Amino acid sequence: MQDPSESAQRKLAAIMFTDIKGFSKKMAEDETRAFELLKMHDAIMRVLVAKFGGTVIKSLGDSFMVDFASAVNAVKCAVEAQKRFWNFNRDKDEFERVEIRIGIHLGDVLVREDDMIGDGVNVASRVEAITEPNRVCITQEVYMQIRNKFPIQVFEIGPMHLKNIPEPVQVYEIIIESIPELSTPSESAIQFSKQHGIEVSSAQAAAREAEEAKEANRVEEARKRSEREQAEAEESRRKKIESHYARAEELVRQGKPEEAERELAEIYKLEPALQEAKNQRRQEEEAREKLAQEQIAKARELMKAKQLNAAEAAINEIFRISPLHVGAQQMLQQIEDERYRIDEEERLEKIGKELHVPTEDERKIEELLEKARQELEMEQFTEAIFTLRELFLIDPNHFAARRLEENIRQAEQAKQELLRLQAFQEDEIRRREELDRLRARLAAHREQAVHVEEIEARKINYKLIGQVAGGILLAILLLVVAPRVFRMIVPKTASIALIQFQATPSDSLGRMMKDAIPMLLIDDLRQSGQL
């Protein structure tokens, strides 16, 4: 059988294990809120791990296993993480708090593909398991590497017999003086220290590890299930929206505005209050950014006044509302650089070194370093990297330049993530504009349809008016003109002409009768309506 070591590579590594206190309980109470907290926790941890040069080997549920090439960087990452979460937890209720325990060990490990195994990994895991929430515990191997590298306070717990570890492990708990609750040892650390060579019960250790493993597996399964359900729901919603868009377009082309309007209503049901929510998020982001810029300006003034602790406190206020703020990250790094510079000056003064006149190379390095910092502030990442490369030609191992190079890379990654989010928002805006254009086309089509209906109605009215007028005219003709024409064609009266008698009587009476008789006849005949 092949030895596993034959396909693996050995190396010395600083291994860090982390775990969230009572996360499965929170998940049982409210899974949605719990996953929001987990996302925030994962984001903060990944940013800090990248900042201090670590690599996440495993992320199972609410637990992290991280590999560091430097024990100093591992401890700095752990302390910074506890500070961040302590600031985040202030004024939060029990559910909203994120309390993590961290264990670190420096030892020999086997690296195989994307995993690490060995006693070094086991010791780090066991140390994390006995650590109190909000605390960091390290082994003696780690402490020996960091004790002279930067100022740090520890509480010596003493040797402990850990499960499946043959030799006792000397354990220390880190004291974080800037946090009141963490400026003194934890109660469990004090209890352990009173019993030299204390042995952690195998049964207790096994039970605790089994419970942590179950919790991590439950969280991981729930996370995968939630992500799968969200992805399926989002895909289904997206397909439905596209289908409604296509049908609405087709209905507009077919001239069916009412049906197209119903399709648009279905789209609004699938994307409720999208614009309102987007505006609200933008306002909240603007408010957070305004507060962040005020705190950054305040921190910058305090840093100029050499009040570095107060400046760091101002930056921590930003992390409470925006844990991944790029400007705050950069400002915090500047504070750390200034603190390091002051510590170096004090150290040189303490050991009696006199400041020497800087050489030409040193002056050039300072100029390039300052130029790179300015380019970083202006987000000219590529130019800053090239400036540092010019500096590395003079001093390839310049500490401050290496740290600044890492800061530039992190800022560039954060900028790319911001651009990705902005592109996503622009895509949402384009979808909204497309929807508005579709509605405008629909409204225009409906308006055109209404106009056509009005024209048709007017034509019908004009036709009706013409018909009525023709009827009236025809009635007039029938009542007035037709009788006259008819009478002209078929007269209803007779005409009688009376002429005088031709004979002329000789006597006077006869002559008088000759003239009177026609006149009398005319008067009588005139009384008849038919004559």
Select from 69, 78, 67, 122 the least CA-distant residue to 100.
78
pLDDT at 146: 92
- For residues 501-519, average pLDDT: 71
Q: What does the mean pLDDT of the chain come to?
A: 80
pLDDT at 433: 79
Bridge partners, residue 199, by sequence:
161
Write the secondary structure of 174-197 as one string of H (helix), E (strand) and C (coil). EECCCCHHHCCCCHHHHHHHCCCC
Which one of 163, 183, 200 terminates a domain? Answer: 200
pLDDT at 460: 80
Q: Are residues 440 and 520 in the same domain?
A: no
Angle value at C-alpha 384, between 380 and 386, nearest 5 degrees: 125
Select the more confidently predicted residue: 102 or 518. Answer: 102
E strand or H helix at 44: helix 31-51
Confirm whether 315 is domain-assigned. Answer: no
Q: Are residues 441 and 504 in the same domain?
A: no
Most confident of 97-106, 245-254, 372-381: 97-106
Q: Region of 60 please: left (phi>0), alpha (psi -120 to 50) or beta.
A: beta
**Of 55-69, 143-157, 262-276, 415-429, which range is least confident?**
262-276
Q: Kindly report, residue by residue over 291-325, the tens digit of the pLDDT.
A: 889 999 999 899 888 888 898 888 888 888 887 78
Alpha helices, DSSP H, located in 109-201: 119-129, 140-146, 187-193
Q: Are residues 36 and 101 in the same domain?
A: yes
Banded model confidence at residue 171, pLDDT cuts 50, 70, 90:
very high
Select the more confidently predicted residue: 428 or 20. Answer: 20
Which one of 150, 168, 200 terminates a domain? Answer: 200
Select the more confidently predicted residue: 385 or 261. Answer: 385
Q: Are residues 37 and 180 in the same domain?
A: yes
Q: Are residues 22 and 139 in the same domain?
A: yes
Which one of 200, 228, 259 terminates a domain? Answer: 200
Q: Are residues 389 and 518 in the same domain?
A: no
3-state secondary structure of 133: coil
pLDDT at 355: 47
pLDDT at 99: 93
Widest CA span in the chain: 189
> pTM surpassing 0.75?
no
pLDDT at 68: 94
Q: In this model, does residue 268 exceed pLDDT 70?
A: no
Q: In this model, does residue 1 exceed pLDDT 50?
A: no
Q: Kindly report, residue by residue over 97-107, the tens digit of the pLDDT.
A: 999 999 999 99
Q: Are residues 50 and 121 in the same domain?
A: yes
**Of 48-57, 114-123, 375-384, 516-525, which range is least confident?**
516-525
**Of 69-73, 245-249, 455-459, 527-531, which range is least confident?**
527-531
Range of the domain at 501: 493-531
Q: Are residues 486 and 503 in the same domain?
A: no
Q: Are residues 48 and 98 in the same domain?
A: yes
Banded model confidence at residue 6, pLDDT cuts 50, 70, 90:
low
Q: Are 13 and 106 in contact (CB under 8 A)?
A: yes
3-state secondary structure of 163: coil
Q: Are residues 95 and 175 in the same domain?
A: yes
How many domains does the structure of the chain reveal? 3
Banded model confidence at residue 486, pLDDT cuts 50, 70, 90:
low
Q: Cα(145)–Cα(332) distance, rounded to whole angstroms?
A: 25
Banded model confidence at residue 503, pLDDT cuts 50, 70, 90:
low
DSSP 3-state helix, strand, coil percentages of the chain (rounded to 5)? 65, 10, 20
Q: Are residues 22 and 54 in the same domain?
A: yes
Q: Kindly report, residue by residue over 48-80, the tens digit of the pLDDT.
A: 998 898 999 988 778 899 999 999 999 999 999
Q: Are 67 and 116 in contact (CB under 8 A)?
A: yes
Q: In this model, does residue 134 exceed pLDDT 90?
A: yes
pLDDT at 74: 95
pLDDT at 202: 47
Write the secondary structure of 467-530 as one string of H (helix), E (strand) and C (coil). HHHHHHHHHHHHHHHHHHHHHHHCCCCCCCCCCCCCCCCCCHHHHHHHHHHHHHHHHHHCCCCC
Confirm whether 325 is domain-assigned. Answer: no
